């Protein structure tokens, strides 16, 4: 039987492969999940303009971002606890990304620490949350530099974690109770393959990068508690000057949804921004990123590199985002489902599918190169 072919297939395969509390963690949003739904709806509302007989010949999907040549303008977005979706999952994902010629962005809240991922010898980008302990932040940046990370992605839209009620219902978060433990263990026993491959053979189950801050291991269910206690809600634009003093390479600010914030990011000298609402996991009721992107790109696109995420499932979504003004696109849930369903091979297959969809979409919109993709690929409403 053939493996998962589409994003919807991967969604279902992941749902079957991992415990419910992990699937809900990946899939869920905050509050009433309005923005989670809005991200996808906003992308689907973007119509593409079909062109024919354009004699495009060979299509070149490569692009250059922050001094790197990528096989396509696509990146694996940072995902906390991805190492629980498949055994040592971040290591598997970085290998798949390298094989397909795209960047992998390691989360601060990864299971596999920077050192473990860098032991693969594969360069990766690093995503940072600002913690209250600035000494810890400096140490983390030093480890990222030593690992050869070429780009720092600073996430700024999580001063406090948004309420994620799916996680409470599934037993991942909320007050400790016998009922919550029963819900988790029942889900684990229902997925024996995961229990053996990840639960037993995938240890240690810790947030590798933040364990030193917690004076030891950080258990999976403690992630939201840790973030609430250690992320710094007082962080401001001035703190990015602090980062500049300790990070010499390109810095990308992730979590921009407002034109004025985008202008400030350009003013302080950031090399890039990610138009993002944290996958609908923070401020519910915020616009979908495809809605916010055009105005932001028009305001600062000539001053820094504009990237975007939110609801991205395949190659046509890359064309939509580039047509709206982005220069590159990130996706999180797409590779998380693929990792849960098939490990490294699953992520590689997902990336191959995205590339094939992008190539076909470029042919049918009359674009020979990535640079050809602009507003002209979008059809009027």
Coil vs helix vs strand at 69: strand
Residues with Cβ within 8 Å of residue 288, at least 6 apart in sequence: 35, 38, 39, 40, 41, 42, 43, 277, 310, 311
The answer to whether the CB of 42 falls within 8 A of the CB of 290 is yes
Burial of residue 361 (number of CB atoms within 10 Å: 0-12, 13-18, 19+): buried
Instruction: Tell me if residue 191 is catalytic.
Output: no
Indicate the pairing of strand 63-65 with strand 68-70: antiparallel
Give me 286's structure tokens.
């915020």
Catalytic residue among 7, 205, 246, 278: 278
Give me 84's structure tokens.
């629980």
The answer to whether the CB of 83 falls within 8 A of the CB of 53 is no
Query: How far is CA 291 from each of CA 50, 91, 218, 273, 286, rounded to the nearest angstrom?
Result: 22, 34, 37, 16, 10
* Beta bridge partner(s), residue 308: 275, 329
For every residue of 78-107, DSSP letters joined together read --TTGGGTTTTHHHHHHHHHHHHT--BEE-
- Tell me how long the chain is: 381
Burial of residue 277 (number of CB atoms within 10 Å: 0-12, 13-18, 19+): buried
Question: How many other C-beta atoms can be found within 10 angstroms of the C-beta atom of residue 188?
Answer: 18
Query: What count of Cα atoms within 13 Å lies in the side-chain half-sphere of residue 84?
Result: 25
The answer to whether the CB of 25 falls within 8 A of the CB of 199 is no
Which positions are catalytic?
278
């Amino acid at each position: 039987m053939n493996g998962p072919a589409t994003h919807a297939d991967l969604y279902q395969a992941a749902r079957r492969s991992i415990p419910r509390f992990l699937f809900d963690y990946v899939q869920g949003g905050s509050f009433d999940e309005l923005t989670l739904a809005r991200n996808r709806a906003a992308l689907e509302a973007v119509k593409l303009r079909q062109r024919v007989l354009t004699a495009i010949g060979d299509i070149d999907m490569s692009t250059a971002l922050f001094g790197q040549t990528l096989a396509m303008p696509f990146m694996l977005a940072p995902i906390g606890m991805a190492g629980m979706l498949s055994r040592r999952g971040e290591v598997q994902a970085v290998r798949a990304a390298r094989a397909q010629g795209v960047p992998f962005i390691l989360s601060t809240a990864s299971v596999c620490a920077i050192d473990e991922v860098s032991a693969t010898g594969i360069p990766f980008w690093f995503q940072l949350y600002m913690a209250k302990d600035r000494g810890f932040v400096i140490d983390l940046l030093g480890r990222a530099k030593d690992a050869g990370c070429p780009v720092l992605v600073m996430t700024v839209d999580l001063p406090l974690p948004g309420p994620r009620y799916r996680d409470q219902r599934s037993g991942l978060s909320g007050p400790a109770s016998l009922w919550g433990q029963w819900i988790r263990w029942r889900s684990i026993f229902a997925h024996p393959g995961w229990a053996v491959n990840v639960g037993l053979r995938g240890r240690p189950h810790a947030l590798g990068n933040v364990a030193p801050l917690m004076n030891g291991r950080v258990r999976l269910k403690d992630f939201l508690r840790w973030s609430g206690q250690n992320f710094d809600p007082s962080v401001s634009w001035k703190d990015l000057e602090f980062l500049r003093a300790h990070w010499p390479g390109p810095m990308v600010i992730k979590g921009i949804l407002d034109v004025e914030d985008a202008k400030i990011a350009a003013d302080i000298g950031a090399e890039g921004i990610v138009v993002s609402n944290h996958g609908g996991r923070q401020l519910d009721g915020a616009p979908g990123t495809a809605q916010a992107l055009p105005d932001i790109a028009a305001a600062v696109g000539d001053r820094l590199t504009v990237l975007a995420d939110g609801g991205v499932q395949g190659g046509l979504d890359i064309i939509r985002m580039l047509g709206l003004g982005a220069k590159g696109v990130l996706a999180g849930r797409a590779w998380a489902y693929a990792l849960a369903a098939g490990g490294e091979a699953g992520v590689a297959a997902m990336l191959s599918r995205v590339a094939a969809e992008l190539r076909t979409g470029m042919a049918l919109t009359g674009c020979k190169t990535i640079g050809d993709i602009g507003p002209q690929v979008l059809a009027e409403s």
